[in-house]
Structure 1
Amino acid sequence: MSRKLVALFLGVMLVFVALAIDITYVNATKGEKYERQVLSQTQQSYDSRTIPFQRGSITDRNGTILATSEKVYNVILDCKLANTTVKDEEKNDTHPYVDPTVAALVEYFGLDETDIRDRLTGETTKESQYQVLAREVSMDAKKAFETYVDEYADKKNKELDENEQAEKAYRANIRGVWFEESYHRTYPLNSLACDLIGFTYSGDTADWGIEGYYSSILNGVNGRQFGYYNEDADMEQTIIEAQPGKNVVTTIDVNIQKIIRTAIENYNERIHVQNGADESDTGTNRQTKAAKNIGVVVMDPNNGEILGMDSSDWYDLNNPRDLTPFYSQEEIDAMNDNETMEALSAIWKNYCISDAYEPGSTAKPMNVAAAYSLDVIDDDTLFDCEGFETIAGQMIRCGAYPGTHGVQTPADVLKNSCNAGMMQIGQKMGAAEFLRYQDIFGFGSLTGIDLPGEAYGLVHTEDTMGPTELATSTFGQGYTVTMVQQAAAFSSLINGGNYYQPHVMKTITDSTGAVVESNEPNLVRQTVSAEISDKMRSFLQGVVTDGSGQSAKVAGYTMGGKTGTAQKYPRGNGKYLVSFIGFAPVENPKAVVYAIVDEPDVENQANSVLAQEIVKEIYTELLPYLNVFPDDTDGVTGEGSETGTDDPNVAAPVQEDDTENSAENSNIENGGLTNAELDLINEE
Structure 2
Amino acid sequence: MSQPSISSKRRLVGIFAVVSFVIFGLIIRLGWIQIVNGEKYKELANSQQTRDTPIPATRGTIYDRNGKELAISASTNTIWASPREVQKPEEAAKILAEMLDLEEEKLLEQLLDKTYGLVRVSRWVDDEIADAVRGQRLSGVWIAEDNKRYYPYGNFASYILGHTTNDNNGMAGIELEYDKYLTGLPGRWIKSTDGAGRQLSFGVERYYPPENGLNVVLTIDEVIQHFAEKAVENALEINKAKRVSATVMDIKTGEILAMAIKPDYDPNEPRIPLDHILKAELENMSNEEQLDAWYAMWRNPVINDTYEPGSTFKVITTSAALEEGVATLDSTFYSSGTINVAGTIIRSWRWYNPFGHQTLAEAVQNSDNPVFVELGQRMGPETFYRYINGFGFADVTGVDLPGERKSIMYSLGNVGPVELATISFGQSISVTPIQLLTATAAIANDGKLMKPRIVKELVDLEGNIVHQFEETMVRQVISEKTSKEMLEIMESVVAAGGGGPAYIPGHRVGGKTGTAQKAVDGRYAQGLYVSSFVGVVPIDDPQLAILVIVDEPNGFSHFGSTTAGPVAKEIFEESLRYLDIKPKYTESEAEMYAQTEVIVPEVRDMTVKDAAQILIDNKLQYNTEPEYIQDDQAMVIDMFPKPGARVTDKSIVLLYTQPNEHIPSTVLVPDLRGKTIREANTILRTVGLNLKVTGSGKADNQSPEPGTEVDPGTIVNVVFKPG
TM-score normalised by the chain length of structure 1: 0.73
Contact 2:55/2:210, CA 8 A, preserved across alignment = yes
The answer as to 2:125 corresponding to 1:137 is yes
**What is residue 437 of structure 2 aligned with on the other side?**
487
The answer as to 2:159 corresponding to 1:195 is yes
Separation in 2, partners of 1:297, 1:407: 36
**What is residue 88 of structure 1 aligned with on the other side?**
none
Higher deviation after alignment, 213-222 or 331-340: 331-340
The answer as to 2:153 corresponding to 1:185 is no
Separation in 2, partners of 1:128, 1:354: 42
1:575 to 528, 532, 541: 528
Contact 2:51/2:117, CA 8 A, preserved across alignment = no
Q: Deviations over 1:306-351 (max 9, x none)?
A: 1111222211111111136153565333322222222111111001
Q: Deviations over 1:566-600 (max 9, x none)?
A: 12232362322111111111111221111011210
Q: Deviations over 1:285-326 (max 9, x none)?
A: xxxxx1122121111111111111122221111111113615
CA distance change for structure 1 residues 334 and 135 in 2, over 3 Å: closer, same or farther?
closer
Report the AA paired with residue 171 of structure 2: D
Separation in 2, partners of 1:124, 1:352: 48
The answer as to 2:352 corresponding to 1:388 is no
Pairwise CA RMSD of aligned residues? 3.9
Report the AA paired with residue 517 of structure 2: Q
2:561 to 595, 608, 613: 608
Q: Deviations over 1:9-43 (max 9, x none)?
A: 99xx99x99xxxxxxxxxxxxxxxxxxx9899648
Separation in 2, partners of 1:213, 1:135: 25
Contact 1:43/1:228, CA 8 A, preserved across alignment = no
CA distance change for structure 1 residues 112 and 605 in 2, over 3 Å: closer, same or farther?
closer
The answer as to 2:232 corresponding to 1:264 is yes
Separation in 1, partners of 2:107, 2:295: 42
**What is residue 173 of structure 2 aligned with on the other side?**
209
Separation in 2, partners of 1:144, 1:207: 33
**What is residue 512 of structure 2 aligned with on the other side?**
562
Considering fraction of residues, name the structure with more strand.
2
Q: Deviations over 1:225-273 (max 9, x none)?
A: 33259xx9723312222111111111112222221121122223334xx
Contact 2:238/2:555, CA 8 A, preserved across alignment = no
Report the AA paired with residue 219 of structure 2: T
- Specify the SS of the correspondent of 1:48: strand
**What is residue 533 of structure 1 aligned with on the other side?**
483
Give unpaired runs (5+ residues) of structure 2.
1-11, 24-40, 194-199, 593-723
- Specify the SS of the correspondent of 2:552: strand
Matches within 5 A, 1:122-521: 132-142=120-130, 177-228=141-192, 234-271=202-239, 290-323=240-273, 325=275, 327=277, 331-521=281-471
Report the AA paired with residue 243 of structure 1: E
CA distance change for structure 1 residues 237 and 382 in 2, over 3 Å: closer, same or farther?
same
Bigger radius of gyration, 1 or 2? Answer: 1
- Specify the SS of the correspondent of 1:445: coil
Report the AA paired with residue 244 of structure 1: N
- Specify the SS of the correspondent of 1:574: strand
Contact 1:41/1:228, CA 8 A, preserved across alignment = no
Separation in 1, partners of 2:486, 2:87: 82
Contact 2:94/2:104, CA 8 A, preserved across alignment = no
The answer as to 2:539 corresponding to 1:589 is no
Q: Deviations over 1:76-113 (max 9, x none)?
A: 456777749xxxxxxxxxxxx999x9999799x45679
Q: How far 1:415 sits from its partner (Å)? A: 2.0
- Specify the SS of the correspondent of 1:577: strand
Separation in 1, partners of 2:517, 2:90: 73
Separation in 2, partners of 1:137, 1:350: 31
Separation in 1, partners of 2:43, 2:414: 76
Contact 1:260/1:310, CA 8 A, preserved across alignment = yes
Q: How far 1:423 sits from its partner (Å)? A: 1.7
- Specify the SS of the correspondent of 2:413: coil
Report the AA paired with residue 331 of structure 2: T
**What is residue 474 of structure 2 aligned with on the other side?**
524
Separation in 1, partners of 2:208, 2:462: 19
Contact 2:305/2:405, CA 8 A, preserved across alignment = yes
Q: Deviations over 1:194-234 (max 9, x none)?
A: 111111122332331111111111111122233259xx972
Separation in 1, partners of 2:467, 2:244: 34
**What is residue 279 of structure 1 aligned with on the other side?**
none
CA distance change for structure 1 residues 588 and 83 in 2, over 3 Å: closer, same or farther?
same
Greater RCO, 1 or 2 (C-alpha within 8 Å, sep 6+)? 1
- Specify the SS of the correspondent of 1:75: strand
- Specify the SS of the correspondent of 2:191: strand
Report the AA paired with residue 246 of structure 1: L
Matches within 5 A, 1:623-662: 623-633=576-586, 635=588
CA distance change for structure 1 residues 400 and 43 in 2, over 3 Å: closer, same or farther?
closer
Separation in 1, partners of 2:462, 2:357: 65
Report the AA paired with residue 135 of structure 1: R
Report the AA paired with residue 260 of structure 1: A
CA distance change for structure 1 residues 606 and 144 in 2, over 3 Å: closer, same or farther?
same
Contact 2:531/2:551, CA 8 A, preserved across alignment = yes
- Specify the SS of the correspondent of 1:558: coil
CA distance change for structure 1 residues 235 and 482 in 2, over 3 Å: closer, same or farther?
same
- Specify the SS of the correspondent of 1:575: strand
Separation in 2, partners of 1:598, 1:628: 31
TM-score normalised by the chain length of structure 2: 0.70
Report the AA paired with residue 277 of structure 2: Y
**What is residue 681 of structure 1 aligned with on the other side?**
none
Separation in 1, partners of 2:42, 2:382: 78
Contact 1:222/1:242, CA 8 A, preserved across alignment = yes
CA distance change for structure 1 residues 515 and 384 in 2, over 3 Å: closer, same or farther?
same
**What is residue 685 of structure 2 aligned with on the other side?**
none
Separation in 1, partners of 2:97, 2:414: 71
Separation in 1, partners of 2:345, 2:46: 87
Separation in 2, partners of 1:429, 1:299: 30
Separation in 1, partners of 2:167, 2:236: 35
**What is residue 91 of structure 1 aligned with on the other side?**
none
Q: How far 1:62 sits from its partner (Å)? A: 1.6
CA distance change for structure 1 residues 583 and 634 in 2, over 3 Å: closer, same or farther?
farther
Report the AA paired with residue 189 of structure 1: Y
- Specify the SS of the correspondent of 2:478: coil
How many pairs were matched up?
563
Q: Deviations over 1:123-167 (max 9, x none)?
A: 656x99856443221235445776xx5xxxxxxxxxxxxxxxxxx
Q: Deviations over 1:514-565 (max 9, x none)?
A: 1111111111011111111111111111111111111111122111111111
2:58 to 54, 61, 80: 54
Report the AA paired with residue 597 of structure 1: V
Contact 2:500/2:561, CA 8 A, preserved across alignment = no
CA distance change for structure 1 residues 560 and 53 in 2, over 3 Å: closer, same or farther?
same
CA distance change for structure 1 residues 546 and 511 in 2, over 3 Å: closer, same or farther?
same
CA distance change for structure 1 residues 508 and 572 in 2, over 3 Å: closer, same or farther?
closer
Separation in 1, partners of 2:524, 2:442: 32
Question: % of aligned pairs identical?
Answer: 33
CA distance change for structure 1 residues 623 and 402 in 2, over 3 Å: closer, same or farther?
same
Q: How far 1:621 sits from its partner (Å)? A: 1.4
Separation in 1, partners of 2:393, 2:108: 64
